[in-house]
Amino acid sequence: MRELFLIFLRLGLTSFGGPVAHLGYFRSELVERRRWLTDAAYADLVALCQFLPGPASSQVVIGIGFLRGGYLGALLASLGFTLPSMLLMIAFGYGLIGLGDLPGVTAAVHALKLVAVAVVAQAIWSMAQSLCPDRLRGSLTLGAAACLLIWPSAMAQLAVILLAAVMGWRLCSPTRPQSADHLSLPMARGPAIALLATFGGLLLLALLPSGAWPVHGLELAAAMFRSGALVFGGGHVVLPLLDAETVRTGWVSQEAFLAGYGAAQALPGPLLTFAAFLGTVEAPIPNGALGGILATLAIFLPSVLLVLGLLPFWVSLRANHGVRAALAGINAAVVGLLIAAFYDPVLTTAVSDGRDAAVALGAFALLVLWRIPAWLLVLGAGLGAVLMTR
């Protein structure tokens, strides 16, 4: 167990580059070097995690931890991988609170907001190519974006995702996956069903109106659980979900939100630890470190319950045509969610004049055409902004 925790702690400290890069690091360390899984078993686990809502790389960590050490192994692996970026995001939140009025910090925050424009634009560009390959799914994407531009709320996002699932189930025809079963699952179905029932019960509680919660800590946990349960299509999709939960409710300012999102691109580990920053800087109590830890636990809890709950059912689930067709519709809709968020709050908050637009375009070119890593771009933009104010 100690070895399992330390291996994933090291990966959490060194895995820069986002979910796709994380999966490459995992394969190199755990398949090629340590031979904990075969290539086929690793591919099956990755396929399951890409099928589920939530951060795929963190879910792969949960699955590998469970395969190596049961429930405790899953928790230790997840803790090791998440802890470094969570602590860094909490520290950044404290720094922004304490130093936010200094000229250099103000300039760096603005630079991070412009980098966020480029990062979200790159995410839309790459996701649209893979998730909207035909007219039907392209129409679902644009329809979802239009709906959320008119009705920008958390409940509207949930309604769009559910409607897209129904339309995908009825209209989409995804290609059939390979039928081979490579993943050995040391887990009975009884505990798995209990975990899925727990997920369903918590999601129903999280969907209660905000006035139902007697203290803000429960309201914060419910908001983060909702977001973690609906992040289809990758970590960037959490941006519109968390914006609806924290900025539009008045808990976090738009400027701080985008600065934290930009800073998250420079860190190793999972992007969803952005929630730790939001819990730290939010106005209502609990905030600070306690708020950051609570937000992180709540946003990752759906992934733990779903991965461990669905592992025993994966073989039959991945072969079901209706399930895969519904997922195709959902994936198209989440690109629309990201387009709506790209307009508001990303563009409307970060870009105020032609010079800002030019900087954002340059950052986009560096990311897409020159393949500059996002973390390097974030560090360069922040440092450059600070130096220019001196």
- Residue 179 has a pLDDT of 46
Identify residue 63 by its one-letter amino acid code: G
Tell me the backbone φ, ψ of residue 350, rounded to 5 degrees.
-85, -35
pLDDT block averages, 10 residues each, the chain of length 390 = 92 76 79 82 75 83 90 93 94 77 67 78 82 89 92 79 89 61 65 92 87 86 91 73 88 88 82 93 90 95 91 74 82 83 79 88 90 78 71
The answer to whether 282 touches 251, Cβ cutoff 8 Å, is yes
Identify residue 259 by its one-letter amino acid code: A
The answer to whether 49 touches 26, Cβ cutoff 8 Å, is no
Residue 389 DSSP symbol: T
3-state secondary structure of 176: coil
CA 193 to chain centre: 25
- Residue 102 has a pLDDT of 60
H helix or E strand, kind and range, residue 320: none
- Residue 180 has a pLDDT of 47
For the four alpha carbons of 29, 35, 37 and 42, in that order, the dihedral sign comes to positive
Euclidean distance between CA atoms 164 and 331, whole angstroms: 8
The structure's pTM equals: 0.77
Residue 271 DSSP symbol: G
Euclidean distance between CA atoms 221 and 263, whole angstroms: 23
Euclidean distance between CA atoms 147 and 143, whole angstroms: 6
Residue 177 DSSP symbol: P
CB atoms within 10 A of CB 69: 17
The answer to whether 82 touches 57, Cβ cutoff 8 Å, is no
Which residues contact residue 4 at a Cβ distance below 8 angstroms, ignoring those fewer than 6 apart?
Answer: 65, 68, 69, 73, 76, 77, 80
The answer to whether 152 touches 242, Cβ cutoff 8 Å, is no
Euclidean distance between CA atoms 179 and 241, whole angstroms: 34
Which residues contact residue 137 at a Cβ distance below 8 angstroms, ignoring those fewer than 6 apart?
Answer: 131, 172, 328, 329, 331, 332
- Residue 141 has a pLDDT of 93
For every residue of 133-154, DSSP letters joined together read -SHHHHHHHHHHHHHHHHS-SH
The answer to whether 271 touches 264, Cβ cutoff 8 Å, is yes
- Residue 17 has a pLDDT of 63
Name the residue among 367, 366, 348 with its Cα closest to residue 357.
Answer: 348
Euclidean distance between CA atoms 177 and 288, whole angstroms: 45
- Residue 87 has a pLDDT of 95
